[in-house]
Amino acid sequence: MIQYLKHNEIEKQKWDNCIDHSVNNIIYSYSWYLDIVCPNWNALVEDDYKSVMPLTGNKKYGVHYLYPPYFAQQLGVFSKEKLSQKKVEEFLNSIPSDYKFMEVCLNTQNTFEFSGYKVKKNINLELSLNVAYGTLRKNYSRLTIRNIKKAIKNEVRLQKNVSLSNLITIFRKTRGKGISNLKDKNYKVLLNLINTSVKKGYGEAWGAFTKENHLCAGIILLVKNNRAIFVFSATDIHAKENGAMFFLIDNFIRNNAGNNMIFDFEGSNLPGVARLYKGFGSKENVYLQVRKNNLPKIFRWLKG
């Protein structure tokens, strides 16, 4: 039986045990992670936490709604047993009708075939690192190899455990300027999320420095359950010239080659970003984004 639980009714130790033993576990779905990205999340729970689904929601103008929180690319249904389409449908049908608008990103193991939802296919790019580095490098594009060589020629230096605040500052001064929906509160969530992940032993922050010792690029990875998620990156004008981002990603791949690990690039639907990630030999994986609008007609046009 699937039951709806409010946030204060969720037994988080049982929840995390379910995620630990689920066939499709991913760091986004742990209770501590959800507490940061959506503090008042609720849940659907089957039996004694055999299968679970977080409901990341909020309330506005008196209307309850579900939304995909920043920094949690895939959620949906997680189970200790192999998931069937029927099981995913059962969970979706169990979402309380109080939620008048729903937009939910499922995970790659969640599929379903029934009407009532608008469905969008999102692309994730992943690279299995379970072979030797030399084998992985053979699948690099010529552009990727050229940029790695450029970084070496420019004496780019790698440093681990760089300042998270400095990386966020670089991002906000460059690419972040063009992302108007990222506010101060979102950056605070990101900083809290990464700091917490680092303390728990799951977060890694790598930086690239020019030969003049200037921090020009950085990557933040969340590493858990044989998956390294490329959750955030930042580059300044120097990095665009010296190949620093390619250098950082290549070094992580080199350091972890031969391990039973997936490098999860966390996207992207953007052609330019996807081209960069595919240059390392990554493969496409689809996850579904589902949407349902039961808002009163007077509000429906706001959400489409």
- Domain-embedded: residue 281: no
Do 229 and 266 touch, CB atoms closer than 8 A? yes
Phi and psi, residue 132, nearest 5°: -65, 155
Please check whether residues 68 and 179 belong to one and the same domain.
no
Please check whether residues 94 and 204 belong to one and the same domain.
no
Q: What is the pLDDT of residue 181?
A: 80
Q: What is the pLDDT of residue 105?
A: 96
Please check whether residues 135 and 28 belong to one and the same domain.
no
- Domain-embedded: residue 30: yes
Please check whether residues 102 and 39 belong to one and the same domain.
yes
- Domain-embedded: residue 273: no
Q: What is the pLDDT of residue 89?
A: 93
What CATH number should be reported for the domain holding residue 136? 3.40.630.30
Q: How many CB atoms lie within 10 A of CB 173?
A: 12
Q: What is the pLDDT of residue 296?
A: 65
Please check whether residues 88 and 135 belong to one and the same domain.
no
Domains contained in the chain, number: 2
Do 16 and 5 touch, CB atoms closer than 8 A? no
Domain that holds residue 187: 130-260
Q: Which helix (H) or strand (E) holds 139?
A: none
Please check whether residues 137 and 171 belong to one and the same domain.
yes
Q: What is the pLDDT of residue 27?
A: 97
Please check whether residues 248 and 190 belong to one and the same domain.
yes
- Domain-embedded: residue 267: no
- Domain-embedded: residue 12: yes
Q: What angle do CA 274, 114, 101 make, to 5 degrees?
A: 75
What CATH number should be reported for the domain holding residue 290? 3.40.630
Please check whether residues 16 and 90 belong to one and the same domain.
yes
Single pTM value for the model: 0.92
Please check whether residues 6 and 33 belong to one and the same domain.
yes
295/101 Cα distance (integer angstroms): 6
Please check whether residues 80 and 160 belong to one and the same domain.
no
- Domain-embedded: residue 270: no
Q: What is the pLDDT of residue 297?
A: 62
Q: What is the pLDDT of residue 218?
A: 96
6/4 Cα distance (integer angstroms): 7
Please check whether residues 173 and 250 belong to one and the same domain.
yes
- Domain-embedded: residue 265: no
pLDDT along the chain (304 residues), means of 10: 97 98 96 97 98 95 91 96 93 94 95 84 95 98 97 96 92 82 90 95 96 96 95 92 96 97 85 84 94 72 51
Q: Which among 157, 139, 169 has a CA at the least distance from the CA of 242?
A: 157
Give the up-direction half-sphere exposure of residue 274: CA atoms within 13 A in the CB hemisphere. 12
- Domain-embedded: residue 85: yes
Q: Which helix (H) or strand (E) holds 245?
A: helix 244-256
Please check whether residues 11 and 84 belong to one and the same domain.
yes
Q: Measured between alpha carbons, how far is residue 70 from residues 82, 105, 111, 260 in Å?
A: 27, 11, 22, 28
